[in-house]
């Protein structure tokens, strides 16, 4: 297809329960950074996690697939990646997403780090979906950033035990290894010998001009003192110093104090983002393999590397 449908022409659309989106879909793998960037350019904050995987050291563990509607101006992209744990990103039309995961569902289990709300129903045929979170993306550029002052400590790999302890207070599992902390950017607030607030990074991709801040947490007994804002400011400032032009984070829109803190730093709200845990329905992968084999055979008439995939049903919750 030569990339005729790039990001600026992607239409997200809406999905109805049990509906079939237009098809068939022309599916192919993107292998060049510039092609992936083009598909993700329309909403960089929304697509930040996928853009970050174009960075060296991450790209080698990521695969990007796109589906383009024949005779229509719609398309979609799915990323499967494993460098930072099994993860998945979906961008674009729900029908395109449903077609993509019907032939390229990825590993047996993964974490959906970025999706639009309408993508959830598009994924139901291929996955069991749990722990769905409706979040809001926020982003800031260097010129918009308003840092705050306050004492913080740069955290290193040797601090992993303390970081994991802090995250475990609210029932979370401490599972960050020293090497991961050392290679990321983490800042904390320490009271006496106690680490009471922390913020870190999910993605640092200066060559792509983007970074994703996350894992912001404050000890319950130390909340309301501005510590989360302080550590987020410190992480964001270092990211700009490292050459990132845009910093992104995800927040629960119902968490009013967090939204206020990020807004005070200059972050502005963007697209709604859904996160979820996915488990493949076909654990052996037989049905996707059969569909993929047929799609490859049908796509040969269109060109090398093209798979022709029929439209898939988009299932509302009650359809399963």
The 3 state secondary structure assigned to 109-158 is EEEEEECCCCHHHHHCCCEEEEEEEEEEEEEEECCCCCCCCCCCEEECHH
Going by pLDDT thresholds of 50, 70 and 90, the confidence category of residue 110 is very high
At the topology level, CATH places domain 145-265 in Aminopeptidase (3.40.630)
**Closest C-alpha among 316, 317, 312 to residue 20:** 312
Average pLDDT over residues 288-317: 88
The pLDDT, as a whole number, for residue 173 is: 60
- Nearest-angstrom CA–CA distance, 46 and 37: 13
Output the pLDDT for position 7: 38
Going by pLDDT thresholds of 50, 70 and 90, the confidence category of residue 17 is very low
Structure tokens at 40: 């993700």
pLDDT, tens digit, 9 for 90 and up, residues 301-311: 998 999 999 88
Give the pLDDT of residue 314.
78
Average pLDDT of the chain is 90
Write out pLDDT tens, residues 248-273.
999 999 999 999 999 999 999 999 99
CA gap 184, 186 in Å, rounded: 6
Domain ranges in the chain are 7-136+274-319, 145-265
Residue 129: which of 320, 310, 292 has the closest Cα?
320
Beta-bridged to residue 77, according to DSSP, are 66, 91
Sign of CA dihedral 141, 143, 144, 146: positive
Query: Taking the CA of residue 85 as centre, how many other CA atoms within 13 Å lie in the half-sphere pointing to its CB?
Result: 13
Max alpha carbon distance in the chain (Å)?
A: 69
Closest listed residue to residue 76, CA positions, set 57, 103, 58, 54: 103
3-state secondary structure at position 166:
helix
């Amino acid at each position: 297809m030569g990339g005729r449908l790039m990001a600026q022409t992607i239409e997200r659309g809406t999905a109805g329960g049990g509906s079939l989106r237009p098809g068939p879909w022309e599916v192919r793998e993107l292998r060049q950074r510039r092609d992936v960037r083009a598909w993700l350019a329309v909403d960089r904050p929304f697509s930040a996690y996928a853009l970050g995987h174009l960075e060296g050291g991450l790209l080698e563990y990521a695969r990007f697939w796109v589906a383009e509607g024949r005779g229509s101006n719609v398309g979609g992209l799915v990323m499967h990646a494993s460098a930072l744990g099994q993860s998945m990103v979906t961008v674009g039309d729900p029908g395109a997403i449903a077609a993509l995961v019907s032939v390229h569902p990825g590993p047996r289990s993964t974490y959906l780090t970025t999706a639009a709300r309408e993508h959830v129903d598009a994924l139901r045929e291929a996955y069991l979906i749990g722990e769905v979170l409706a979040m809001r993306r926020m982003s800031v550029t260097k010129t918009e950033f308003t840092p705050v002052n306050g004492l913080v400590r740069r955290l290193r790999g040797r601090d992993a035990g303390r970081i994991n302890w802090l995250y475990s207070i609210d029932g979370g599992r401490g599972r960050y290894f020293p090497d991961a902390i050392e290679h990321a950017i983490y800042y904390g607030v320490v009271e006496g010998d106690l680490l009471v607030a922390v913020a870190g990074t999910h993605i640092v991709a200066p060559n792509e001009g983007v970074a994703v801040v996350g894992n912001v947490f404050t000890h319950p007994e130390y909340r309301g003192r501005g510590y989360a804002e302080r550590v987020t400011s410190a992480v964001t400032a270092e990211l700009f110093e490292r050459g990132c032009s845009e910093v992104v984070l995800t927040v629960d829109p119902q968490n009013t104090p967090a939204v206020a803190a990020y807004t005070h730093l200059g972050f502005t709200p963007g697209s709604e983002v859904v996160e979820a845990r996915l488990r493949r329905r076909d654990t052996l992968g037989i049905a996707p393999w059969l569909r993929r084999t047929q799609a490859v055979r049908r796509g040969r008439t269109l060109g090398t590397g093209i798979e022709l995939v029929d439209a898939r049903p988009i299932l509302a919750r009650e359809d399963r």
